[in-house]
């Protein structure tokens, strides 16, 4: 069992930055690939970024490439999502997920555990 807690969301103006954190507890953190997804009102949960269990391999949705960076610190049991150049269309609830022995999937169904989400609001 893994518990995930996201933090770092908030309200920013377009062009601003936020850094989301996902703190994990329970099973060995390095057993899991980590992913970030987001869900806007009335929309499906969509893939944002993922990182393999060991860290060197990352994946991004086209909409965030060059603006967002995913990373992890296995010693701190934490994954991060640095978000720069934020746009109003980035407004959503952001969720982190843990994928056991994964390489980092862009499919939500691949993830075994989810956090409760953190709200990100970007105003124009």
The 10s digit of each residue's pLDDT in 78-88 is: 999 999 999 99
Identify the pLDDT of residue 98. 96
For 101-117, what is each residue's pLDDT tens digit? 888 999 999 999 999 99
Residue 53: per-residue pLDDT: 84
% of the chain with per-residue pLDDT over 90: 89
Q: Helix or strand or coil: residue 41?
A: coil
Mean pLDDT value of segment 26-44: 93
Instruction: Decide if pLDDT at 55 tops 90.
Output: no
Cα gap 9→32, rounded to integer Å = 23
pLDDT at residue 63 greater than cutoff 80: yes
Pair of tokens at residue 66: 């060059």
């Amino acid at each position: 069992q893994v518990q995930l807690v996201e933090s770092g969301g908030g309200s920013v103006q377009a062009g601003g930055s936020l850094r989301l954190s996902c703190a994990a507890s329970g099973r060995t953190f390095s057993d899991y690939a980590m992913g970030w997804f987001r869900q806007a009102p009335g929309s499906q949960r969509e893939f944002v970024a993922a990182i393999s269990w060991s860290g060197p391999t990352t994946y991004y949705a086209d909409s965030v490439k060059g603006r967002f960076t995913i990373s992890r610190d296995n010693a701190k049991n934490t994954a991060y999502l640095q978000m720069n150049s934020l746009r109003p269309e980035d407004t959503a609830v952001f969720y982190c997920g843990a994928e056991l022995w994964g390489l980092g999937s862009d499919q939500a169904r691949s993830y075994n555990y989810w956090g409760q989400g953190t709200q990100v609001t970007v105003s124009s």
